[in-house]
Chain A
Amino acid sequence: MEHTHTAVAHEEHGHDSSTKTIWKTFWILLAITVFEVGLAFLYLEYDFMARWALNGIFVTLTMVKAFFIVAEFMHLRHEIRNLIMTILMPLALFIWFIIAFLADGDSWKHMRKDLAPGTHVAPATHVTNEPAHH
């Protein structure tokens, strides 16, 4: 195995600076989580901001936490560009994935609301999908 020395090469970082980064990352993750839970409590008690804004903050902070876990704990930030790209580029599909499916869910809700029994619907001018009788 010619690849077996990759692990050893990281030793150059030195003991102290490396464990310091680990604990710093831990405190960041903990602080963000505490902040999120605090915001959720404040919202429950005082209802002080719009729900969509609060959700926006939660999603953003989740992405920040994800960044720190992947970059520092999984060490991806310290790998070479080729590895970073081969992992992150496919994940860009999630951008489409999320937008498309949530939009679909939303449109589904509106269709169910607008076409629910008892809802007034403008009379259709012509019906094209009459059941075929054979």
Chain B
Amino acid sequence: MDTAVTAKKKWWSGGHSPFNVSYGKLMMWYFLMSDAFTFGALLISYGTIRFMSTSWPDPNEVFHSFPGMGHTHLPLVFVSLMTFILIMSSVTMVLAVHAGHMRDRKAVAKWLSWTILGGIAFLSCQAWEWTHLHEAGAWWGRNPFLNVDGTIASTNFTNFFFTITGFHGLHVTSGVVLNIVILANVLKGTYEERGHYEMVEKVGLYWHFVDLVWVFVFTCFYLL
């Protein structure tokens, strides 16, 4: 397929993709767009409920723990670490895609492994945070945290927190699984045989999307 982009090229006259990408990549983009609406709907319903509440728990009071630091008050520190891990794994994913363009099989395998490691590290952090909150008495339908104004809070806060971060964690989990499958194929030489590493790009798109969603979850739950 011709990738030379010229202004005169008639994209819609047939014979080639009007989007200049393969079918699989285009469908990945459309899937991610629909997934964006799913996450959008969840986050906007959270926003709606928060707007209708007269008061809401203070995230800095709820999320203030760090593994091994006991009761030290450390708001935002742990979630910043989680954010850093996910951004970092996004970087290693782009580097894997880049190595794929170079047809450098070893480098693809290396960067994919780092990405998988980053994903697992993120999930471990989330598991720790969930366990910690659960021990503090928080779960779906249970909210031990008070509102900012000192009144008893409804369970909306914990319900939305566990549902949305859980749904995101599920996405990270399937991303890690996909990355492992791709890594196995890289090691087997499947893409070398095929002559290109486009599958790494498609899974890469998904992985970046998961990072993108986290950026919004981070803002909505921890900063605002």
Task: Please report A residues at the B interface, Cβ cutoff 8 Å.
Answer: 1-11, 15, 18-19, 22-23, 25-26, 29-30, 33-34, 36-37, 40-41, 44, 55, 58-59, 62, 65-66, 69-70, 72-74, 79-80, 82-83, 86-87, 90-91, 93-94, 97-98, 101-102, 104-106, 108-109, 112-113
Contacts and interface: CB of A to CB of B under 8 A. Distances in A.
Given A7-B100, A44-B75, A58-B223, A109 B52 contact: yes
Contacts of B121: none
B54 interface: yes
Contact of B29 (A5, A83, A102, A108): A83
B51 A106 contact: yes
A6 to B, nearest CB: 6
Nearest to A3: B22
Contact of B224 (A33, A58, A69, A97): A58
B49 interface: yes
27 contacts: A3-B1, A4-B196, A4-B198, A6-B3, A19-B98, A25-B91, A26-B87, A29-B87, A33-B80, A33-B84, A40-B223, A59-B224, A62-B219, A69-B208, A69-B215, A70-B212, A73-B91, A73-B94, A73-B211, A74-B209, A83-B26, A87-B29, A87-B33, A91-B36, A101-B47, A102-B51, A105-B49
B11 A80 contact: yes
Nearest to A29: B87
Contacts of A82: 11, 18-20
Top 4 A-B pairs, shortest CB-CB distance = A105-B51, A3-B22, A105-B48, A108-B52
A101 B195 CA distance: 48
A91 B33 contact: yes
B1 A5 contact: yes
Interface residues of B, number: 63
Interface string B83-97: 110011011011100
A120 B94 CA distance: 61
Contacts of A44: 60, 75
Nearest to A9: B3
B196 A8 contact: yes
